[in-house]
């Protein structure tokens, strides 16, 4: 069996304030790409993880990996000692604002729920994911939604972006720390999400650009390439833009790849 860990996109991300628990109250609109990391599972007596793919070197397979943590949370919840050999094909950049670790944890819960025939419902899996990270709940569902609180209080997004919309993800090849970006957040409540997410913003963008100025270069390049609503996702450094057609997206991607061969690009669509 296998499961896709769909890349997460924050179409808009408003930080409303700091919380006493160390997190921040946010309002965001989550969307998901059709592509992401891929997790495979085979029968084994014990639980193990191996990592392959273009970004495997940035991770390790020890007990602190979110994939193994998610597997152990599921085993403990269901009082089972089932084993599995997990293989993570790490296709998304690490620490890049598109939910790589959270999406991997969510895919682990979905995959092992099927593989071990546990029959937990989606909401039960989302509840387990809440303790693994603020974005894991949204990544369990991997559908467009509004996130509030830490981002794990989900509600349907009445007006977002249509499934199948061409999407281009671009990362300038730098990693930024989510904790550092939130720490550097300027503070102050800039207001709630507007009814049209395109009129929103990403309140973490300024902090991220201060650490990694290349992010501003990516956003500018996506706008020049004709992308709609070019913006940073999450805490960065990956940015995105939407396009009217796959041909427009691919032409923009080809121009960026030629001009910036060191940048990572993924041509995909909104799930």
Q: Active-site residues: which are they? A: 8, 135
Bridge-based pairing of strands 2-18 and 24-42 is antiparallel
**Per the structure block, which two tokens stand in for 80?**
């089972």
**What DSSP element (H or E) covers 55?**
none
**Rounded CA gap, 167 and 103, in Å?**
18
Short-list 21, 150, 40, 166, CA closest to 91:
40
Strand-pairing partners, residue 47, are 84
Eight-class DSSP state of 203: T
**Per the structure block, which two tokens stand in for 66?**
């979110």
**Per the structure block, which two tokens stand in for 71?**
């597997």
**What DSSP element (H or E) covers 206?**
helix 205-211
Residue pair 136/241 in contact (Cβ under 8 Å)? The answer is no
Count other Cβ atoms within 10 Å, centred on residue 174: 18
Q: What angle do CA 119, 123, 126 make, to 5 degrees?
A: 105
> In the chain, what is the straight-line distance between the N-terminal and C-terminal CA atoms, in Å?
21
């Amino acid at each position: 069996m296998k499961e896709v860990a769909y890349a997460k996109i924050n179409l808009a991300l408003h930080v409303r304030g700091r919380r006493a628990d160390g997190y921040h109250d946010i309002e965001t609109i989550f969307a998901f790409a059709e592509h992401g990391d891929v997790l495979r599972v085979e029968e084994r007596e014990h639980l193990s993880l191996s990592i392959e793919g273009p970004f495997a070197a940035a991770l390790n397979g020890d007990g602190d990996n979110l994939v193994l943590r998610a597997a152990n949370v599921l085993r403990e919840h269901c009082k089972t000692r089932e084993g599995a050999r997990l293989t993570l094909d790490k296709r998304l950049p690490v620490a890049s604002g598109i939910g790589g670790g959270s999406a991997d944890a969510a895919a682990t819960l979905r995959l092992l729920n099927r593989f071990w025939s546990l029959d937990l419902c989606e909401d039960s899996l989302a509840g387990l994911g809440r303790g693994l990270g603020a974005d894991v709940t949204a990544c369990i569902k991997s559908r467009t939604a509004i996130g509030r609180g830490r981002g794990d209080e989900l509600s349907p997004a009445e007006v977002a972006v249509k499934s199948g919309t061409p999407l281009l993800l671009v990362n300038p090849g730098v990693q930024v720390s989510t904790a550092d970006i939130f720490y550097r957040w300027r503070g102050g409540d800039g207001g709630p999400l507007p009814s049209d997410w395109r009129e929103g913003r990403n309140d973490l963008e300024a902090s991220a650009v201060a650490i990694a100025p290349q992010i501003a270069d990516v956003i500018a390049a996506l706008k020049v390439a004709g992308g709609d609503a070019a913006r940073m996702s999450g805490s960065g450094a990956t940015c995105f833009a939407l396009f009217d057609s796959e041909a427009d997206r691919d032409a923009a991607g080809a121009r960026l790849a030629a001009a910036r061969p060191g940048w990572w690009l993924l041509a995909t669509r909104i799930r």
